[in-house]
């Protein structure tokens, strides 16, 4: 019988806000981790209000997915009684996730030294703009600043135009992914050779810079400085680019090796052009990429998508249409993979758990819940009586679900 997920025995306390920290916790919650997300009773995570609202219930669509599979506790953890509750949670937790500016936990009296005094085996994921030390440690940072620091806008756009940010929060999202990876490695190491808890220190610019990967070795190793190059690759290291077919579909083209490039060139420009010494090998093709690009552009713009796809498939090359969200939702391969997930009673659909595990798959159990949705249940699990819970509520230490207080 399949388990509920490979992380079902892991409890995570999330002090995160906005994207990077919460996404790390959400990725682990997809695979069964019990994530307790803490929000302040007087105002929750800004992701509740950021962006469009679902027509069905008026809840922010970004909140629905970033807080999916999480239990919600409203707690003023900086007050003495709230700090005591935080300690109870930490004592029973495997992981704590936070993405405040460096030093916030320490000033609140719950830095790693205190947290590890409460629970020596705790893994602490600390996400901040520039890391926990260094000359920029006190500077505020947001995702776009991190993207600029990592260099991605420098590589995106036209050479004579401005640098362009990608169409999604690339720095925050890649940081969330890398943060989850860091937690997994720390959990794997825990208990080996006397290792107990530890801090995973992650700056928001670092994950994106690591995933770009090639720009630093290009300059230091090959003395090439990559530069944005419009519809082509920054360094034109493989034949391809972005083109528009006669019937108005944008396609991205890729030919990853010399043999494929030759077949493709022969298909789109004829034998004489393909046999030109300028295209004899990949080094020659790279040196004459503008001519290759122009040949591709002429061929594709004069033909409809179906003809282009057939010709490229015959050449064992790729001409992939650029999908809109509407296309994604209707795509047979995406639907076959179950990549779009939903829960009963919810019109809002989201991206399903990734990756797919054969024996212990992830699952979408619920979307982001209302403020304080699980406060009462979580406090009861910690041993607080109904009378104590009501007192904590009256003192502003916790929040309770709205329906409990009408």
Q: Which residues participate in catalysis according to the annotation? A: 172
For 65, phi then psi, to 5°, come to -95, -35
Q: Please, which residues have CB within 8 angstroms of residue 180's CB and are 6 or more apart in sequence?
A: 24, 27, 28
CA 375 and chain centroid, separation = 27
The span from the CA of 305 to the CA of 222, in Å, is 38
Q: In what order do the strands lie in the sheet with 318-321?
A: 240-244, 250-254, 318-321
With H, G, I as helix, E, B as strand and everything else as coil, classify residue 83.
Answer: helix
With H, G, I as helix, E, B as strand and everything else as coil, classify residue 72.
Answer: strand
The span from the CA of 290 to the CA of 230, in Å, is 12
* DSSP, residue by residue, 238-270: SSEEEEE-TTS-EEEEE--SHHHHHHHHHHHH-
Q: Which two tokens stand for residue 32?
A: 């069964």
Q: Which two tokens stand for residue 150?
A: 């990592």
The span from the CA of 29 to the CA of 406, in Å, is 31
> Please, what's the b/e burial string for 340-372 (b: 16 or more CB within 10 A of its CB; e: otherwise)?
ebebeebebbbebbeeeeeeebbbbebbbbebb
The span from the CA of 270 to the CA of 286, in Å, is 19
């Amino acid at each position: 019988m399949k388990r509920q997920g490979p992380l079902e025995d892991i409890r995570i306390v999330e002090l995160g806000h906005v994207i990077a920290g919460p996404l790390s916790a959400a990725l682990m919650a997809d695979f069964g981790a019990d994530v307790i997300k803490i929000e302040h009773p007087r105002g929750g995570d800004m992701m509740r209000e950021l962006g469009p609202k679902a027509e069905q219930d008026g809840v922010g669509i970004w909140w629905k997915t970033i807080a999916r599979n999480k239990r919600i506790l409203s707690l003023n953890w900086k007050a003495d009684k709230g700090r005591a509750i935080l300690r109870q949670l930490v004592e029973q937790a495997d992981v704590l996730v936070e993405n405040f500016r460096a030093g916030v936990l320490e000033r609140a009296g719950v830095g790693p030294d205190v947290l590890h005094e409460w629970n020596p085996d705790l893994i602490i994921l600390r996400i901040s703009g520039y890391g926990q030390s260094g000359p920029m440690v006190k500077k505020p940072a947001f995702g776009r600043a991190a993207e600029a620091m990592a260099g991605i806008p420098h590589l995106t756009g036209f050479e004579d135009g401005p640098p362009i940010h990608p169409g999604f929060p690339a720095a925050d999202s890649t940081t969330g992914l890398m943060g989850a990876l860091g937690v997994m490695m720390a959990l794997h190491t825990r208990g080996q050779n006397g290792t107990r808890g530890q801090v995973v220190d992650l700056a928001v610019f670092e994950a994106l810079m690591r995933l770009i990967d090639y720009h630093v070795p290009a300059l230091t190793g090959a003395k090439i400085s990559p530069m944005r190059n419009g519809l082509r690759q920054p360094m034109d290291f493989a034949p391809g680019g972005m083109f528009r077919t006669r019937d108005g579909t944008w396609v991205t083209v890729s030919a990853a090796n010399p043999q494929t490039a030759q077949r493709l060139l022969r298909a789109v420009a004829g034998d004489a052009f393909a046999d030109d010494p300028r295209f004899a090998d990949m080094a020659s093709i790279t040196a004459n990429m503008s001519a290759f690009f122009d040949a591709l552009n002429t061929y594709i713009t004069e033909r409809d998508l179906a003809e282009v796809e057939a010709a490229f498939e015959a050449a064992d090359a790729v001409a992939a249409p650029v999908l809109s969200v509407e296309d994604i939702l209707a795509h047979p391969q995406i639907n076959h993979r179950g990549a779009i997930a939903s829960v009963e009673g919810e019109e809002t659909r989201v991206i399903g758990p990734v990756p797919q595990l054969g024996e212990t798959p992830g699952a979408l159990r619920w979307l982001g819940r209302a403020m304080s949705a699980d406060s009462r249940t979580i406090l009861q699990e910690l041993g607080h009586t109904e009378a104590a819970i009501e007192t904590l509520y009256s003192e502003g230490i916790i929040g309770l679900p709205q329906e409990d207080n009408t």
